[in-house]
Structure formats: C-alpha cells, structure tokens
Amino acid sequence: MLNFEFHNPTRIVFGRDTIARLDALLPPAARVLVLYGGGSVRQNGTLAEVRAALGGREVREFGGIEPNPTYETLMRAVALVRQERLDFLLAVGGGSVIDGTKFVAAALSFTGEDPWTILETHGANVTGAMPFGSVLTLPATGSEMNPTAVITRTETAAKLAFRSPYTFPQFSILDPSKTFTLPARQVANGVVDAFVHITEQYLTFPVDARVQDRFAEGLLQTLIEIGPRAVAQPEDYDTRANLVWTATLALNGLIGAGVPGDWATHMIGHELTARFGIDHARTLAVVLPALLRERREAKRGKLLQYAERVWHITEGTEDARIEAAIRRTEAFFESLGLPTRLSSYAVGTEAIDGLVAQLETHGMTALGEQKEITPEVSRRILEASLVPAA
C-alpha cells in the first residue's frame, strides 16, 4: 500500500426530510448566498424548502450556474457576495452548482491578481475560502464530499480542475427524494460518472491494498445492480438512496487513499466537453473503453482482477478475459443509454489534432498512474474511440 494521509471534514446529513436541518447547520447570524442552476430546484420545490429552513437569516440568491459552470458566471456571484457583504455560501444542486460554489468560495479569499490562476495552478495558490455547505440534488460527482471543482472558461474553451484543503463543504445534505425529478438521462449519466470515478482509482496497478480494492469492487457491483432500476423507477427511494451514497463514496477520498490514481479518462473527457459540449459522463463512457484497451499491458493485473471479481469472468485466456470485461463495461454503459464511441456525437478524425493540442496547452502531457499517457498515446485513445464496436 502507498503512504497516505486521509482527512475528510465534510459532515453528511443523509435521508428524507433532512433539509430542515439547515437551520441547525448554519451559524445563526449567517448572511447567506444560495447558489443554484437552471431552475430545476425552483420548479421541484427544493429551493422553497431551503428558504423555509434558513429561518430569519439574511438571504440572497444567485441562479443560472450552468452545467459545466463557467468562470464568467461565477465571477458575477463573487461580486454579489462582496456587494451584499455575505459570509456563507449554500449550493443547491448537482456537481456543477457545488463545483461553482467552491470556486466562488476560493475566489472570495484570493489575494492574487487573477482568480483564473486558481485553475491554472490547480488550486496550489488557494490560501483560504468562504465557508459553504451543499444540498445535493444529483448523485454523480462526489463534489458534495470532496474538495475538487471543475470550471470552464468560455472564451478559451478551457475546462480545468482545482482542489484545495480549504474547499471541502462544511456539510452536505443528501436527501435521495430530491433526486426524483431528475430526467432519466441525468440519472444514467450519474451512474456512469460514479462508475468511472471508481475505475480511475481501481484499474491501475496492484499495491496490495485489499480493503480499497474490495470497497471499490463493492461500489462497482452496486452500480451494476441498481443502475438500471435507478433510471427506470425514479421514485424508488431505496434504490436512489443506494445510488446517492455510492456516488458520494466513489469520490470522497476513501477508496483513493493508499492506491495509485489514473484520471486520464477524466482529463481527456474534459477536452471533449470543452470543445463539443458533450455531457461529462458521456465523455467518460467514450474514453474509458478505448483507454483500457490501449493500456491493457500496464493495467493487466487489475484488469484481470476486475474481470473476475466484478464481472465473474473466469474462462478463457488472460487476453480474452480482459477483452470480455471491457465489453461488459461497454454493454453496461450502452444499456443505460450512453454511447461508447465518439462517432455517435458526429465527431470525426478531423477533431483529433485540436483535442491533442488542447491537452498539450493544458499541460496534460504525462497522464495516468504511470505518467505514460503522452499526447501521442492520448491521440491513439481518441482515434480508437472513433472506431465502431466490432
């Protein structure tokens, strides 16, 4: 097992009717900015519940945070907090709203010239953040219990991540019934996003981290078991409860402690979202299978373990078992309605040069757990993702 430090300060409040707990979770005299997205939380009553739970506190609202939140929009929220002298941020929404709130929190304490450098340094220059909490409405990203945020700058089509010890939410309220109004597409996206968060921390090379491996395998098996039902039966509370908690555990630092991390699928996927606007999870469904085939030698040990323990594939040569596991993964994504080929998005070979150039511009030149995914390897992965499944 690799050396590690694990610290996660986010309080999780889980279950039905837990939004009422906000009153106890926020300081009594907090001056609050509630941040939300395109209005789903207004339509489904979540925002009204939040307002009621905040009691007599001074509250302002900032709506309109986009899926793939933009720097340009978030800087307007920063200005509003300063103008209104607010001192607590409350994100109500999915990963985009929570990520956006992390950026606003960090930018408010930032003393440098240009807050965009928070993204360029991946958070290394963050020295503080305004306190914030979240009310989660979409199980997918794990943002509700991690310190990471992914922010897009529209003018340069750059989608970059940052993380800092200062940007953990103080608390997150996870009421699975608040996910009932999600469109099926977003639920399916969430299942795949969580799935790939787990594979990024599991499908690397063995370091004899038995608990982390078994934890990861349990989370993957849970997603395989409940994913289709979570999509088909929106008001099945127990299925949604399992999905919410699995997605949180997939990326709250626990299964990644003491093991190598890959994250190349995410970094290549971010370029696809920045350039073509493809949903985050859908980029992962396209990149992961091609990446696993390209890296099958470096990942051989863990791919064989994945085949056996997650998909129960025990027959055939090593190569046949690995290929079968990748095919089962593709079939799982496709069964949820997520294509596994870039060609499904009308993106062709002409796009590859630009995508590889973007990876280089963003310093993504030695990706993966072995740092061996050079721009040339990324090119091969993207080219393979264009080829229709055999």
Ligand X SMILES: NC(=O)c1ccc[n+]([C@@H]2O[C@H](COP(=O)([O-])OP(=O)(O)OC[C@H]3O[C@@H](n4cnc5c(N)ncnc54)[C@H](O)[C@@H]3O)[C@@H](O)[C@H]2O)c1
96 binds ligand X (CB under 6 A): yes
Give all strands (DSSP E) within the chain, no chain letters.
Answer: 11-14, 31-35, 58-62, 88-93, 132-136, 148-153, 158-163, 171-174
Q: Quote the least distance from Cβ 75 to ligand X, whole Å.
A: 17
Q: Quote the least distance from Cβ 38 to ligand X, whole Å.
A: 4
67 binds ligand X (CB under 6 A): yes
For the chain, what is the largest distance between any 2 Cα atoms, rounded to a whole number of angstroms?
66
Q: Quote the least distance from Cβ 148 to ligand X, whole Å.
A: 4
137 binds ligand X (CB under 6 A): yes
Under 8 Å between Cβ of 288 and 329: yes
142 binds ligand X (CB under 6 A): yes
Task: Tell me whether residue 39 or residue 301 sits nearer to ligand X (CB atom).
Answer: 39
The pair of structure tokens assigned to 199 is 């594979």
Q: Would you tell me the crossing angle of helices 264-276 and 280-294 to the nearest 10 degrees?
A: 130
The pair of structure tokens assigned to 284 is 């992962």
**Dist CA 158 CA 122 (whole Å):** 13
Stretch that binds ligand X, among 111-119, 137-145, 204-212, 382-390 (CB under 6 A): 137-145
Under 8 Å between Cβ of 168 and 99: no
Residue from 169, 267, 268, 280 touching ligand X (CB under 6 A): that is: 280
Task: Tell me whether residue 45 or residue 301 sits nearer to ligand X (CB atom).
Answer: 45
Stretch that binds ligand X, among 7-15, 91-99, 211-219, 363-371 (CB under 6 A): 91-99
181 binds ligand X (CB under 6 A): yes
CA distances from 284 to 112, 114, 118, 195, 371 (A): 34, 31, 25, 10, 19
Under 8 Å between Cβ of 271 and 358: yes
Q: Quote the least distance from Cβ 36 to ligand X, whole Å.
A: 8
93 binds ligand X (CB under 6 A): yes
For residue 307, the tally of other CB atoms under 10 A from its CB is 23
167 binds ligand X (CB under 6 A): no
| Ranges within 197-216 binding ligand X (CB under 6 A) | none
Positions in the binding site for ligand X (CB under 6 A) = 37-38, 40, 44, 67-68, 93-97, 99, 137-138, 140-143, 146, 148-150, 178-179, 181-182, 186, 189, 193, 251, 280
